[in-house]
């Protein structure tokens, strides 16, 4: 699994999540504030997204992403799975891969970040 993909995913999760006062989490927290459970869950999802069962064409496409595309894919995986207004489907990815990646991301369901009582970030 690509560390660039995971870091982009986690950074996007912090940026697109808010605390109970409506403040974006990335204005107050960083990846260093993520609980080990949150990081492990994200790692599992990202690894499965990139390496799980898929068509040979999609596998080849993902295996040949540039570093920049890998980071954008981590970003878009989080946005797409959470139903944001951008993601794999918004025209930046070629077809039919954009549709396949969108369907793949939707299968994971949404995930939310929140601040635990211990001040660490968790996901649900």
For the record, the structure tokens of 113 come out as 């970040």
Neighbours of 73 (CB within 10 A): 25
Residue spans of the domains in the chain: they are: 3-123
Is residue 75 scored above 80 in pLDDT? yes
Mean pLDDT on 48-59: 95
pLDDT digit string, tens, across residues 95-123:
999 999 999 999 999 999 999 999 999 99
Q: In the chain, what is the straight-line distance between the N-terminal and C-terminal CA atoms, in Å?
A: 22
Q: What is the rounded average pLDDT of the residues 20-30?
A: 94
Residues 6+ apart with CB under 8 A from 9: 42, 46, 74, 75, 77, 78
């Amino acid at each position: 699994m690509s560390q660039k993909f995971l870091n982009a995913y986690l950074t996007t999760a912090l940026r697109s999540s808010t605390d109970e006062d409506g403040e974006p989490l990335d204005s107050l927290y960083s990846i260093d504030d993520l609980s080990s459970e949150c990081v492990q869950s994200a790692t599992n999802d990202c690894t499965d997204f990139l390496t799980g069962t898929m068509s040979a064409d999609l596998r080849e496409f993902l295996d040949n992403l540039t570093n920049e595309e890998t980071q954008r894919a981590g970003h878009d995986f989080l946005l797409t799975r959470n139903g944001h207004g951008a993601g794999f489907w918004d025209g930046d990815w070629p077809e039919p891969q954009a549709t396949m990646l969108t369907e793949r991301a939707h299968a994971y369901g949404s995930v939310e970040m929140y601040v635990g009582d211990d001040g660490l970030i968790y996901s649900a």
